Structure 1
Amino acid sequence: MPAINASRQHGLLDLPALRKRAKRLLNALNNHQAEDAREQLRTLGLPGPDYRLADTQWLVAREAGFASWPKLKAHADAVAFAARHPGFAADDEATVQHWRCGNDIARNLRTAGFAGAFQMFDDPMVMGPVPALPEERYWRVRGDYVQQAFNLRAEDVEQRQAAQRAALAGLSTDSKLVLWCEADAYDQLFLIRVLASLPGLPRRLELIEADQVPGVERFIGIGQLAPDLLAWLWPQRRALGEDALALARQAWAAYTAPAPQAWAALAGQQHTALPLLGRALARQLQELPGANDGLSLTERLLLGVLASRGELPAGRVFGQLMMQDDPLPYLGDLMFHVLLQPLIHAPQPLLLEGPGEAWAQRPLRLTALAEQVLAGKAHWLDHNPAQRWVGGVLINAADRPWVVSEQGEVWQRT
């Protein structure tokens, strides 16, 4: 089913192909074939033996993630209409700055017909120290971390930081900007970082935010969507006001603080001004050491993949984490590679890495200690793990580190 499978990744439905599939299914059923489809229709309350095209269209719609064929068609028509009539000129889009936490939609924005300026702010604030410091010191800390963790040239890091700092410094009450975000912590931290940096409410401040897209099986990012879907999202943007700026400043201060109590309090709330923020803060809070095992949620999940499936290439572990296991995935592949290193190279490691030309091809397997930690017979913080940061919180196993329960309660381990 290539038309269905492709559309469930990028969201752009191929209606002619889906109609043909429904007709082929109907012919197969009438020729006493397609037993799987027949069984699905029986489960849906259509025992047959005679079927109509509407029945197989219903089945095709359900396979594509819709409740019915009319709902599938209505969504496809809405996307097509948005692509043909984007309304960019009426919205004065050409004078807008489009802000995004990466360059994943820059090309598709142009393809879809957007004409405004594009601004990337891609500091991965889900990783490494994000402390509450004066701007100069803050950027130096972030630059040092990114350079070391990702093995980048100092000149490249400085150049990228300079562009992002200049873009932030250029924002004013006369600015017109639209921010494009999804629900994960990477994006939501980008959102509060930019909003908290604003000197006041700009002339135009709008947010395009998505945590799901109809027909997309596993929506993990706006960057996976076809260009026409960006045009479809455009009319769904909404204006942000002073309440969003105040919440962003509060959340940014909480995330960068050396203790996570204020962060944990925000993570447990629903925020009307920024409705996806609470869940993202709660997911990121689980990157603190778990009270029961000392593992972050990401570490626990990736170890769990290997525990259930045995030795696997690192790329396969990453794929399962992103597409199945993580409740709110936020990692890129290189970020995942960085996260693996302390688990492999610790004095008492949790992972053993086999040979391979590229890191994603190298097989990973659990050590005996990892199996004990997963079984609740050992605690990772008792085995000298590397010092690490989550937001402004420094985690040093030897110095009463902050830990988190599954329910999001935080305290210092004694």
Structure 2
Amino acid sequence: MSDTAAPSPYQRTWFNGRLNLEQQKKRARELLRAYHQDQAPAVQRFQQHHPRYDHGFYPQLADAQWVIARENGFASWARMKTHIEQLAHQPDTAPDGRHTLHLRCGEDIRQSLQLAGFIGDFQQFADPFCQGPLADLPLPEFIHNRARFIASAYELEPADALARLQGEYAVLQRLEDYQQVVLWFEHDSYDQLILAFLLDQLLRLQPKVQLELICVEQVPGVPDFIGLGQLTPELLTWLWHNQRVPLGRAHLQLGRQVWRALCQPDPAALQALAAAETPPILPMQRALQRHLRELPSGFNGLGLTQHLALQAMADYGADTVGRVFAVLMRQLEPLPFLGDLMFWHLLRKLQQSREPLFVLEPGKGDPERGWPSYPIFLTETGVAVLRGKRDFRELFYGERWVGGICIKGQVR
């Protein structure tokens, strides 16, 4: 279903947050030396990060250390030093207990939690609500609808897709087997839409367990934070001790509001939620805003991801499907949420056009690598749509869903 299910060769790689104090001291000395040699990049770094910078500025080592700390996401060198020391001196005892359940929208932190000494159970819940139909249905019917979409979209056997989903949804009936249930989520729409569903279900079920949430959009020392899966075991432990909060009624009610709005065939309710802050889960607002941008734009009829995929081909010279995905994720996407199979599904939907937007050449790809190796390039129609000279809504003959909103193309 997503890149958490099967690692992709095109997965983003980002700094994992493991800071070494001696290394940071060395970086500060090198920065100071480069500044005094009048190297432009070093001067620019001081201009950007040092509050007392001016043209007569003559920095000392402490000033360079300040810049390094700010680049790493800390207010000062002292705070960065304290954070590094905290990570290095965490207790050896298990942070959680045997009766703890860790619930996450993928497998990406399972091993790191084990390496960090967590001993509770782990369960993924990874139904990708950011693609495919959502509807307010009884849960068994809802699961069957989602399984049909997943099997079709990601080219899976229908029985396998249904069995996997039923296994994941079954966790909702087992919550009271535990004393503590902790939800681990980040800020993108993939995570936040699943979180909204789970919060709605928790409000309905009212399980008699301790419910807690770790939901982050930034992590100290990780200025390019994308997701929990990039973090070291030590940082997951740090999040456990510093970012874990009890789930209260306000969280659950927000989840219900968001989930009901997501299932509506009209975007008005979701737009209203996205227009205001969403306490107590502030990342939810940005995720909803990004989700709504998957609706057809007035500029060219494309959703944002569709537009960025074409842009990667046109402006960045991406000439295989894998390179298009890499450019999209590493350079263009403002809030990365997409898995590799989800991207392949998106491209196949773009192929449902009366005039092709791009040419795909499976016969020239690597059979062992499959579709990521297929050459791909824009047609004149694709360029015209990308530049807003044609409207994709007039070319599209398929059907795609953004939550409860069905986008139907023209009759072929």
Q: TM-score, normalised by structure 1?
A: 0.84
1:381 corresponding residue in structure 2: 393
Structure 2 distance, partners of 1:276, 1:196, is 17
Structure 1 distance, partners of 2:42, 2:333, is 34
Give the superposition deviation at 1:94.
Answer: 3.1
Q: Which amino acid aligns with 2:381?
A: L
Deviates more, 1:299-308 or 1:309-318: 309-318
Deviations 1:276-322 (A, max 9, x none): 22221121111111133211111112222223223433222222322
Q: Which amino acid aligns with 2:79?
A: K
Residues 393-412 of structure 1: matches in 2 within 5 Å? 393-398=405-410
Structure 2 distance, partners of 1:251, 1:186, is 14
2:87 corresponding residue in structure 1: 79
Give the superposition deviation at 1:349.
Answer: 2.1
Q: 1:164 to 1:363 in 2, by over 3 A?
A: same
Q: How many residues align?
A: 388
8 Å contact 2:175–2:209 — kept in the other structure? no
Which residue among 339, 345, 365 is the counterpart of 1:356? 365
Q: Which amino acid aligns with 2:180?
A: K
8 Å contact 2:101–2:120 — kept in the other structure? yes
8 Å contact 1:240–1:273 — kept in the other structure? no
2:322 corresponding residue in structure 1: 315
8 Å contact 1:244–1:273 — kept in the other structure? yes
Q: 1:363 to 1:231 in 2, by over 3 A?
A: same
Q: Which amino acid aligns with 1:219?
A: F
Give the superposition deviation at 1:227.
Answer: 0.8
Report the RMSD for the aligned CA atoms in angstroms: 2.9
8 Å contact 2:250–2:280 — kept in the other structure? yes
Which residue among 14, 17, 20 is the counterpart of 2:20? 14
Q: SS in structure 1 opposite 2:291?
A: helix
Q: 1:370 to 1:29 in 2, by over 3 A?
A: closer
Q: 1:311 to 1:344 in 2, by over 3 A?
A: farther
Structure 2 distance, partners of 1:261, 1:50, is 55
Structure 2 residues not aligned, in runs of 5+: 1-11
Structure 1 distance, partners of 2:13, 2:264, is 42
Which residue among 181, 184, 190 is the counterpart of 2:188? 184
Which residue among 302, 315, 337 is the counterpart of 2:309? 302
8 Å contact 2:21–2:81 — kept in the other structure? yes
Structure 1 distance, partners of 2:41, 2:391, is 49
Q: SS in structure 1 opposite 2:345?
A: helix
Give the superposition deviation at 1:63.
Answer: 4.7
Q: Which amino acid aligns with 1:70?
A: A
8 Å contact 2:175–2:207 — kept in the other structure? no
Q: Which amino acid aligns with 2:87?
A: V
Q: 1:138 to 1:155 in 2, by over 3 A?
A: same
Q: SS in structure 2 opposite 1:207?
A: strand
Q: 1:96 to 1:132 in 2, by over 3 A?
A: same
8 Å contact 1:307–1:366 — kept in the other structure? yes
Structure 2 distance, partners of 1:118, 1:99, is 6
Verify: 1:240 aligned to 2:247, yes or no. Answer: yes
Q: Which amino acid aligns with 1:387?
A: E
Deviations 1:81-108 (A, max 9, x none): 4xx127755xx54322111000100000
Q: 1:7 to 1:303 in 2, by over 3 A?
A: closer
Deviations 1:165-220 (A, max 9, x none): 22112235975211011111111111111121121164311110111122323221
Q: Which amino acid aligns with 2:341?
A: L
Q: Which amino acid aligns with 1:153?
A: E
Q: 1:48 to 1:262 in 2, by over 3 A?
A: closer
Percent identity over the alignment is 41
Structure 1 distance, partners of 2:44, 2:284, is 38
Residues 123-134 of structure 1: matches in 2 within 5 Å? 123-134=127-138
Q: SS in structure 2 opposite 1:312?
A: coil
Which residue among 342, 351, 354 is the counterpart of 2:349? 342
8 Å contact 2:318–2:324 — kept in the other structure? no
Residues 51-130 of structure 1: matches in 2 within 5 Å? 52-66=60-74, 68-81=76-89, 84-85=90-91, 88=94, 93-130=97-134
1:213 corresponding residue in structure 2: 219
Q: 1:42 to 1:283 in 2, by over 3 A?
A: closer
Q: SS in structure 2 opposite 1:378?
A: coil
1:404 corresponding residue in structure 2: none
Structure 1 residues not aligned, in runs of 5+: 1-5, 400-414
8 Å contact 1:176–1:202 — kept in the other structure? no
Give the superposition deviation at 1:23.
Answer: 4.0
2:231 corresponding residue in structure 1: 225
Deviates more, 1:337-346 or 1:38-47: 38-47
Deviations 1:109-142 (A, max 9, x none): 1111111111110111111112222222211111
Structure 1 distance, partners of 2:397, 2:410, is 10
Q: Which amino acid aligns with 1:21?
A: R
Q: Which amino acid aligns with 1:57?
A: Q
8 Å contact 2:99–2:179 — kept in the other structure? no
Structure 1 distance, partners of 2:108, 2:178, is 27
Give the superposition deviation at 1:379.
Answer: 0.8
